[in-house]
Structure 1
Protein backbone atom coordinates (compact mmCIF):
# COMPACT_ATOMS: atom_id res chain seq x y z
CA UNK A 1 0.00 0.00 0.00
CA UNK A 2 1.37 3.41 -0.98
CA UNK A 3 1.70 6.21 1.53
CA UNK A 4 -1.01 8.15 -0.30
CA UNK A 5 -3.50 5.27 -0.08
CA UNK A 6 -2.61 4.73 3.60
CA UNK A 7 -3.36 8.40 4.31
CA UNK A 8 -6.60 8.15 2.34
CA UNK A 9 -7.60 5.13 4.43
CA UNK A 10 -6.70 6.96 7.66
CA UNK A 11 -8.75 9.98 6.54
CA UNK A 12 -11.76 7.73 5.99
CA UNK A 13 -11.31 5.97 9.33
CA UNK A 14 -11.08 9.33 11.13
CA UNK A 15 -14.36 10.38 9.50
CA UNK A 16 -16.03 7.10 10.55
CA UNK A 17 -14.86 7.35 14.17
CA UNK A 18 -15.83 11.02 14.36
CA UNK A 19 -19.39 10.52 13.10
CA UNK A 20 -19.91 7.10 14.70
CA UNK A 21 -18.44 8.18 18.03
CA UNK A 22 -20.60 11.29 18.04
CA UNK A 23 -23.69 9.17 17.49
CA UNK A 24 -22.70 6.83 20.34
CA UNK A 25 -22.09 9.81 22.61
CA UNK A 26 -25.45 11.29 21.68
CA UNK A 27 -27.34 8.08 22.41
CA UNK A 28 -25.50 7.45 25.69
CA UNK A 29 -26.30 11.00 26.84
CA UNK A 30 -30.00 10.16 26.62
CA UNK A 31 -29.46 7.38 29.16
CA UNK A 32 -27.48 9.68 31.44
CA UNK A 33 -30.49 12.02 31.56
CA UNK A 34 -33.00 9.30 32.51
CA UNK A 35 -34.28 10.06 35.98
CA UNK A 36 -35.92 6.62 36.22
CA UNK A 37 -32.49 4.94 36.28
CA UNK A 38 -30.48 4.47 39.44
CA UNK A 39 -27.21 6.33 40.09
CA UNK A 40 -25.05 3.31 39.18
CA UNK A 41 -26.83 2.78 35.86
CA UNK A 42 -26.46 6.46 35.00
CA UNK A 43 -22.78 6.39 36.00
CA UNK A 44 -22.28 3.41 33.66
CA UNK A 45 -24.02 5.32 30.86
CA UNK A 46 -21.74 8.30 31.54
CA UNK A 47 -18.66 6.06 31.27
CA UNK A 48 -19.90 4.79 27.90
CA UNK A 49 -20.64 8.34 26.78
CA UNK A 50 -17.15 9.58 27.67
CA UNK A 51 -15.48 6.57 26.02
CA UNK A 52 -17.50 7.02 22.81
CA UNK A 53 -16.64 10.71 22.82
CA UNK A 54 -12.95 9.90 22.52
CA UNK A 55 -13.51 8.86 18.90
CA UNK A 56 -14.59 12.34 17.77
CA UNK A 57 -12.17 14.08 20.14
CA UNK A 58 -9.17 12.29 18.61
CA UNK A 59 -10.52 12.29 15.06
CA UNK A 60 -10.87 16.09 15.02
CA UNK A 61 -7.16 16.93 15.43
CA UNK A 62 -5.98 14.01 13.28
CA UNK A 63 -8.30 14.38 10.29
CA UNK A 64 -6.97 17.89 9.60
CA UNK A 65 -3.27 17.13 8.93
CA UNK A 66 -4.18 13.94 7.07
CA UNK A 67 -6.49 15.88 4.75
CA UNK A 68 -3.98 18.66 4.16
CA UNK A 69 -1.21 16.11 3.53
CA UNK A 70 -3.42 14.34 0.98
CA UNK A 71 -4.21 17.61 -0.77
CA UNK A 72 -0.53 18.55 -0.86
CA UNK A 73 0.64 15.13 -2.08
CA UNK A 74 -1.99 15.14 -4.81
CA UNK A 75 -0.85 18.58 -5.99
CA UNK A 76 -4.16 20.15 -4.99
CA UNK A 77 -2.68 22.55 -2.44
CA UNK A 78 0.62 24.43 -2.52
CA UNK A 79 1.96 25.08 0.99
CA UNK A 80 5.42 26.30 2.10
CA UNK A 81 7.86 23.51 2.92
CA UNK A 82 7.68 24.19 6.67
CA UNK A 83 3.88 24.27 6.83
CA UNK A 84 3.00 20.57 6.78
CA UNK A 85 5.56 19.52 9.44
CA UNK A 86 4.29 22.36 11.65
CA UNK A 87 0.67 21.30 11.06
CA UNK A 88 1.47 17.67 11.94
CA UNK A 89 3.32 18.72 15.09
CA UNK A 90 0.45 20.95 16.21
CA UNK A 91 -2.11 18.22 15.48
CA UNK A 92 -0.18 15.58 17.42
CA UNK A 93 0.18 18.02 20.34
CA UNK A 94 -3.57 18.64 20.17
CA UNK A 95 -4.36 14.91 20.15
CA UNK A 96 -1.91 14.38 23.03
CA UNK A 97 -3.70 16.99 25.13
CA UNK A 98 -7.06 15.35 24.42
CA UNK A 99 -5.74 11.95 25.47
CA UNK A 100 -4.06 13.34 28.59
CA UNK A 101 -7.24 15.09 29.71
CA UNK A 102 -9.23 11.86 29.32
CA UNK A 103 -6.71 9.66 31.13
CA UNK A 104 -6.21 12.14 34.00
CA UNK A 105 -9.85 13.17 34.35
CA UNK A 106 -10.50 15.03 37.60
CA UNK A 107 -6.87 15.86 38.34
CA UNK A 108 -5.72 19.46 38.72
CA UNK A 109 -3.20 19.16 35.89
CA UNK A 110 -5.89 17.84 33.56
CA UNK A 111 -7.97 20.95 34.27
CA UNK A 112 -5.00 23.19 33.41
CA UNK A 113 -4.34 21.26 30.19
CA UNK A 114 -8.04 21.52 29.32
CA UNK A 115 -7.80 25.31 29.62
CA UNK A 116 -4.75 25.32 27.34
CA UNK A 117 -6.57 23.03 24.91
CA UNK A 118 -9.51 25.46 24.76
CA UNK A 119 -7.33 28.40 23.72
CA UNK A 120 -5.28 26.15 21.44
CA UNK A 121 -8.45 25.37 19.49
CA UNK A 122 -9.21 29.06 19.13
CA UNK A 123 -5.70 29.52 17.70
CA UNK A 124 -6.35 26.62 15.29
CA UNK A 125 -9.57 28.27 14.11
CA UNK A 126 -7.87 31.64 13.54
CA UNK A 127 -5.01 29.97 11.65
CA UNK A 128 -7.40 28.01 9.45
CA UNK A 129 -9.46 31.11 8.73
CA UNK A 130 -6.27 32.80 7.55
CA UNK A 131 -5.44 29.81 5.33
CA UNK A 132 -9.00 29.76 3.98
CA UNK A 133 -8.87 33.47 3.17
CA UNK A 134 -5.58 32.94 1.33
CA UNK A 135 -7.13 30.15 -0.75
CA UNK A 136 -10.20 32.23 -1.59
CA UNK A 137 -8.00 35.22 -2.48
CA UNK A 138 -5.71 33.07 -4.64
CA UNK A 139 -2.65 33.81 -2.51
CA UNK A 140 -2.20 30.05 -1.97
CA UNK A 141 -2.60 27.86 -5.03
CA UNK A 142 -5.34 25.25 -4.67
CA UNK A 143 -6.99 22.85 -7.10
CA UNK A 144 -10.41 24.21 -6.30
CA UNK A 145 -12.27 26.61 -4.07
CA UNK A 146 -13.89 23.56 -2.47
CA UNK A 147 -10.71 23.09 -0.42
CA UNK A 148 -11.27 26.49 1.14
CA UNK A 149 -14.87 25.59 1.92
CA UNK A 150 -13.78 22.35 3.59
CA UNK A 151 -11.38 24.25 5.84
CA UNK A 152 -14.01 26.88 6.63
CA UNK A 153 -16.54 24.20 7.59
CA UNK A 154 -13.93 22.39 9.69
CA UNK A 155 -13.23 25.66 11.52
CA UNK A 156 -16.96 26.04 12.17
CA UNK A 157 -17.09 22.50 13.60
CA UNK A 158 -14.22 23.30 15.97
CA UNK A 159 -16.16 26.39 17.09
CA UNK A 160 -19.26 24.25 17.67
CA UNK A 161 -17.15 21.98 19.88
CA UNK A 162 -16.02 24.98 21.92
CA UNK A 163 -19.62 26.11 22.40
CA UNK A 164 -20.54 22.58 23.52
CA UNK A 165 -17.74 22.65 26.07
CA UNK A 166 -19.04 25.93 27.51
CA UNK A 167 -22.61 24.62 27.59
CA UNK A 168 -21.47 21.50 29.45
CA UNK A 169 -19.87 23.39 32.35
CA UNK A 170 -22.87 22.77 34.68
CA UNK A 171 -22.87 19.06 33.76
CA UNK A 172 -20.07 17.91 36.09
CA UNK A 173 -21.34 19.55 39.30
CA UNK A 174 -24.92 18.47 38.51
CA UNK A 175 -23.92 14.86 37.92
CA UNK A 176 -21.81 14.87 41.07
CA UNK A 177 -24.83 16.07 43.05
CA UNK A 178 -26.95 13.28 41.56
CA UNK A 179 -24.38 10.66 42.54
CA UNK A 180 -24.35 12.11 46.07
CA UNK A 181 -28.15 12.21 46.23
CA UNK A 182 -28.18 15.96 46.83
CA UNK A 183 -31.04 18.20 45.62
CA UNK A 184 -31.96 15.71 42.90
CA UNK A 185 -34.69 17.77 41.26
CA UNK A 186 -32.45 20.79 40.75
CA UNK A 187 -29.44 18.66 39.73
CA UNK A 188 -31.46 16.69 37.18
CA UNK A 189 -32.88 19.89 35.70
CA UNK A 190 -29.40 21.41 35.42
CA UNK A 191 -27.99 18.28 33.80
CA UNK A 192 -30.83 17.98 31.29
CA UNK A 193 -30.68 21.67 30.38
CA UNK A 194 -26.94 21.41 29.84
CA UNK A 195 -27.21 18.45 27.47
CA UNK A 196 -30.28 19.84 25.68
CA UNK A 197 -28.49 23.12 24.93
CA UNK A 198 -25.66 21.15 23.32
CA UNK A 199 -27.83 19.24 20.86
CA UNK A 200 -28.19 21.95 18.15
CA UNK A 201 -24.41 22.33 18.08
CA UNK A 202 -23.96 18.56 17.78
CA UNK A 203 -26.36 18.57 14.83
CA UNK A 204 -24.33 21.40 13.25
CA UNK A 205 -21.19 19.26 13.56
CA UNK A 206 -22.97 16.34 11.89
CA UNK A 207 -24.12 18.62 9.08
CA UNK A 208 -20.54 19.86 8.66
CA UNK A 209 -19.24 16.31 8.43
CA UNK A 210 -21.82 15.39 5.78
CA UNK A 211 -21.09 18.53 3.73
CA UNK A 212 -17.31 18.09 3.94
CA UNK A 213 -17.66 14.45 2.89
CA UNK A 214 -19.75 15.56 -0.10
CA UNK A 215 -17.18 18.24 -0.99
CA UNK A 216 -14.36 15.70 -0.78
CA UNK A 217 -16.24 13.38 -3.15
CA UNK A 218 -17.14 16.35 -5.40
CA UNK A 219 -20.84 15.65 -4.97
CA UNK A 220 -21.45 19.37 -4.47
Structure 2
Protein backbone atom coordinates (compact mmCIF):
# COMPACT_ATOMS: atom_id res chain seq x y z
CA UNK A 1 0.00 0.00 0.00
CA UNK A 2 1.37 3.40 -1.04
CA UNK A 3 0.37 6.43 1.04
CA UNK A 4 0.62 9.82 -0.62
CA UNK A 5 2.46 12.34 1.60
CA UNK A 6 -0.02 15.14 0.85
CA UNK A 7 -2.95 12.87 1.71
CA UNK A 8 -1.25 11.90 4.98
CA UNK A 9 -0.73 15.54 5.94
CA UNK A 10 -4.33 16.31 4.94
CA UNK A 11 -5.51 13.47 7.20
CA UNK A 12 -3.59 14.84 10.19
CA UNK A 13 -4.88 18.32 9.34
CA UNK A 14 -8.48 17.08 9.62
CA UNK A 15 -7.79 15.15 12.84
CA UNK A 16 -6.17 18.20 14.45
CA UNK A 17 -9.06 20.39 13.34
CA UNK A 18 -11.50 18.03 15.08
CA UNK A 19 -9.43 18.02 18.27
CA UNK A 20 -9.05 21.81 18.16
CA UNK A 21 -12.74 22.64 17.91
CA UNK A 22 -13.80 19.62 19.99
CA UNK A 23 -11.49 20.64 22.80
CA UNK A 24 -12.82 24.20 22.74
CA UNK A 25 -16.43 22.96 22.88
CA UNK A 26 -15.60 20.76 25.87
CA UNK A 27 -13.85 23.66 27.61
CA UNK A 28 -16.94 25.82 26.98
CA UNK A 29 -19.35 23.40 28.66
CA UNK A 30 -16.98 22.53 31.51
CA UNK A 31 -16.35 26.20 32.17
CA UNK A 32 -20.04 26.93 32.78
CA UNK A 33 -19.91 24.78 35.92
CA UNK A 34 -17.64 27.41 37.48
CA UNK A 35 -20.58 29.82 37.70
CA UNK A 36 -22.81 27.40 39.63
CA UNK A 37 -23.11 28.85 43.13
CA UNK A 38 -24.58 25.61 44.53
CA UNK A 39 -21.11 24.09 44.11
CA UNK A 40 -18.41 24.93 46.63
CA UNK A 41 -15.41 26.94 45.48
CA UNK A 42 -13.24 23.84 45.99
CA UNK A 43 -15.46 21.82 43.64
CA UNK A 44 -15.39 24.58 41.05
CA UNK A 45 -11.61 24.79 41.30
CA UNK A 46 -11.43 21.06 40.52
CA UNK A 47 -13.66 21.69 37.50
CA UNK A 48 -11.34 24.51 36.46
CA UNK A 49 -8.34 22.16 36.68
CA UNK A 50 -10.20 19.70 34.45
CA UNK A 51 -10.87 22.50 31.98
CA UNK A 52 -7.18 23.37 31.79
CA UNK A 53 -6.32 19.73 31.07
CA UNK A 54 -8.97 19.36 28.34
CA UNK A 55 -7.86 22.67 26.83
CA UNK A 56 -4.40 21.18 26.21
CA UNK A 57 -5.84 19.12 23.34
CA UNK A 58 -7.01 22.30 21.62
CA UNK A 59 -3.71 24.10 22.30
CA UNK A 60 -1.66 21.16 21.03
CA UNK A 61 -3.78 20.87 17.89
CA UNK A 62 -3.53 24.59 17.17
CA UNK A 63 0.27 24.55 17.32
CA UNK A 64 0.58 21.50 15.06
CA UNK A 65 -1.88 22.93 12.54
CA UNK A 66 0.67 25.68 11.81
CA UNK A 67 3.47 23.56 10.26
CA UNK A 68 1.07 21.06 8.70
CA UNK A 69 -0.89 23.91 7.13
CA UNK A 70 2.23 25.46 5.61
CA UNK A 71 3.32 22.00 4.40
CA UNK A 72 -0.01 21.46 2.63
CA UNK A 73 0.20 24.99 1.18
CA UNK A 74 3.26 24.01 -0.89
CA UNK A 75 0.94 21.85 -3.02
CA UNK A 76 -1.01 24.98 -3.92
CA UNK A 77 1.99 27.06 -4.96
CA UNK A 78 3.25 28.43 -1.65
CA UNK A 79 6.86 29.61 -1.90
CA UNK A 80 7.38 28.91 1.81
CA UNK A 81 9.21 25.61 1.53
CA UNK A 82 12.64 24.07 1.93
CA UNK A 83 14.66 25.66 4.73
CA UNK A 84 11.84 28.08 5.63
CA UNK A 85 9.41 25.20 6.09
CA UNK A 86 11.92 23.26 8.21
CA UNK A 87 12.31 26.32 10.45
CA UNK A 88 8.52 26.50 10.87
CA UNK A 89 8.44 22.82 11.87
CA UNK A 90 11.30 23.21 14.36
CA UNK A 91 9.77 26.36 15.83
CA UNK A 92 6.39 24.63 16.22
CA UNK A 93 7.91 21.61 17.97
CA UNK A 94 9.81 23.86 20.41
CA UNK A 95 6.70 25.98 20.96
CA UNK A 96 4.63 22.86 21.64
CA UNK A 97 7.19 21.73 24.21
CA UNK A 98 6.99 25.17 25.84
CA UNK A 99 3.19 24.97 26.05
CA UNK A 100 3.33 21.62 27.81
CA UNK A 101 6.04 22.92 30.16
CA UNK A 102 3.72 25.80 31.07
CA UNK A 103 1.02 23.25 31.86
CA UNK A 104 3.21 21.01 34.01
CA UNK A 105 4.93 23.91 35.79
CA UNK A 106 1.85 26.05 36.44
CA UNK A 107 1.61 27.79 39.81
CA UNK A 108 5.44 27.91 40.01
CA UNK A 109 7.92 30.73 39.40
CA UNK A 110 9.43 29.01 36.35
CA UNK A 111 5.92 28.22 35.11
CA UNK A 112 4.95 31.88 35.27
CA UNK A 113 8.07 32.88 33.32
CA UNK A 114 7.33 30.25 30.68
CA UNK A 115 3.70 31.42 30.50
CA UNK A 116 4.84 34.98 29.79
CA UNK A 117 7.23 33.69 27.10
CA UNK A 118 4.39 31.73 25.49
CA UNK A 119 2.21 34.84 25.56
CA UNK A 120 4.97 36.90 23.93
CA UNK A 121 5.30 34.28 21.18
CA UNK A 122 1.56 34.48 20.54
CA UNK A 123 1.66 38.28 20.27
CA UNK A 124 4.56 38.22 17.80
CA UNK A 125 3.30 35.24 15.78
CA UNK A 126 -0.23 36.63 15.44
CA UNK A 127 1.13 39.92 14.07
CA UNK A 128 3.51 38.11 11.70
CA UNK A 129 0.79 35.84 10.32
CA UNK A 130 -1.73 38.64 9.82
CA UNK A 131 0.95 40.79 8.15
CA UNK A 132 2.04 37.87 5.93
CA UNK A 133 -1.53 37.16 4.86
CA UNK A 134 -2.21 40.81 4.02
CA UNK A 135 1.12 41.07 2.14
CA UNK A 136 0.29 37.99 0.07
CA UNK A 137 -3.19 39.32 -0.73
CA UNK A 138 -1.96 42.75 -1.81
CA UNK A 139 1.14 41.67 -3.75
CA UNK A 140 0.06 38.23 -5.00
CA UNK A 141 3.51 36.93 -4.08
CA UNK A 142 4.82 34.15 -1.79
CA UNK A 143 1.32 32.64 -1.67
CA UNK A 144 -0.74 33.29 -4.79
CA UNK A 145 -3.99 31.64 -3.66
CA UNK A 146 -6.16 34.23 -1.93
CA UNK A 147 -8.02 31.59 0.09
CA UNK A 148 -4.70 30.45 1.57
CA UNK A 149 -3.76 34.03 2.42
CA UNK A 150 -7.08 34.47 4.19
CA UNK A 151 -6.51 31.25 6.14
CA UNK A 152 -3.19 32.64 7.37
CA UNK A 153 -4.88 35.89 8.44
CA UNK A 154 -7.62 33.97 10.24
CA UNK A 155 -5.05 31.78 12.00
CA UNK A 156 -3.42 34.97 13.27
CA UNK A 157 -6.82 36.20 14.47
CA UNK A 158 -7.36 32.90 16.30
CA UNK A 159 -4.12 33.55 18.17
CA UNK A 160 -5.34 37.06 19.02
CA UNK A 161 -8.57 35.52 20.28
CA UNK A 162 -6.53 33.14 22.42
CA UNK A 163 -4.69 36.10 23.96
CA UNK A 164 -8.06 37.66 24.77
CA UNK A 165 -9.20 34.41 26.42
CA UNK A 166 -6.05 34.31 28.56
CA UNK A 167 -6.76 37.85 29.76
CA UNK A 168 -10.30 36.82 30.75
CA UNK A 169 -9.03 33.72 32.57
CA UNK A 170 -6.57 35.95 34.44
CA UNK A 171 -9.43 38.17 35.63
CA UNK A 172 -11.44 35.10 36.62
CA UNK A 173 -8.65 33.99 38.98
CA UNK A 174 -9.08 37.27 40.86
CA UNK A 175 -12.86 36.81 40.88
CA UNK A 176 -12.51 33.32 42.37
CA UNK A 177 -10.21 34.71 45.06
CA UNK A 178 -12.88 37.28 45.95
CA UNK A 179 -15.54 34.55 46.10
CA UNK A 180 -13.42 32.58 48.56
CA UNK A 181 -13.58 35.39 51.13
CA UNK A 182 -16.79 35.75 53.13
CA UNK A 183 -16.83 39.56 53.01
CA UNK A 184 -16.35 39.69 49.20
CA UNK A 185 -18.20 36.48 48.26
CA UNK A 186 -21.19 38.19 46.59
CA UNK A 187 -18.94 40.51 44.59
CA UNK A 188 -16.75 37.56 43.59
CA UNK A 189 -19.71 35.44 42.43
CA UNK A 190 -20.99 38.31 40.28
CA UNK A 191 -17.52 38.78 38.77
CA UNK A 192 -17.22 35.04 38.01
CA UNK A 193 -20.53 35.10 36.09
CA UNK A 194 -19.50 38.24 34.22
CA UNK A 195 -16.10 36.80 33.30
CA UNK A 196 -17.64 33.50 32.15
CA UNK A 197 -20.17 35.35 29.97
CA UNK A 198 -17.33 37.17 28.19
CA UNK A 199 -15.38 33.91 27.95
CA UNK A 200 -18.36 32.27 26.25
CA UNK A 201 -18.41 35.03 23.63
CA UNK A 202 -14.69 34.55 23.01
CA UNK A 203 -15.23 30.79 22.64
CA UNK A 204 -18.04 31.40 20.13
CA UNK A 205 -15.78 33.68 18.11
CA UNK A 206 -13.00 31.10 17.96
CA UNK A 207 -15.48 28.47 16.72
CA UNK A 208 -16.57 30.85 13.95
CA UNK A 209 -12.96 31.52 12.94
CA UNK A 210 -11.99 27.82 12.94
CA UNK A 211 -15.08 26.87 10.90
CA UNK A 212 -14.33 29.69 8.46
CA UNK A 213 -10.80 28.33 8.04
CA UNK A 214 -12.22 24.87 7.34
CA UNK A 215 -14.67 26.35 4.81
CA UNK A 216 -11.90 28.14 2.93
CA UNK A 217 -9.66 25.07 2.96
CA UNK A 218 -12.34 22.72 1.69
CA UNK A 219 -14.15 24.88 -0.89
CA UNK A 220 -11.26 27.21 -1.88
CA UNK A 221 -13.69 29.90 -3.08
CA UNK A 222 -11.13 32.66 -3.69
Aligned to 1:89: 90
Aligned to 2:22: 20
The answer to whether 1:167 aligns with 2:168 is yes
Q: Deviations over 1:88-125 (max 9, x none)?
A: 12212221121111111101111111111111111111
Aligned to 2:41: 39
Q: Is the 8 A contact 2:147 2:220 kept in 1?
A: no
**Can you give the 5+ residue segments of structure 1 that lack an aligned partner in the other structure?**
none
Aligned alpha-carbon RMSD (Å): 1.9
SS in 2 for 1:183: helix
**Can you give the 5+ residue segments of structure 2 that lack an aligned partner in the other structure?**
none
SS in 2 for 1:196: helix
Q: CA deviation at 1:30?
A: 0.6
Q: CA deviation at 1:66?
A: 0.5
User: What pairs up with 1:194-205 in 2 under 5 angstroms?
Assistant: 194-205=195-206
Higher helix share: 2
Aligned to 2:211: 210
Q: CA deviation at 1:183?
A: 2.8
Aligned to 1:113: 114
Q: Is the 8 A contact 2:179 2:187 kept in 1?
A: no
Aligned to 1:64: 66
The answer to whether 1:126 aligns with 2:127 is yes
Q: How many matched pairs? A: 218
Q: Deviations over 1:106-154 (max 9, x none)?
A: 0111111111111111111122123213321122143x21000111111
Deviation larger for 49-58 or 170-179 = 170-179
Aligned counterparts of 1:91 and 1:192: Cα–Cα separation in 2: 35
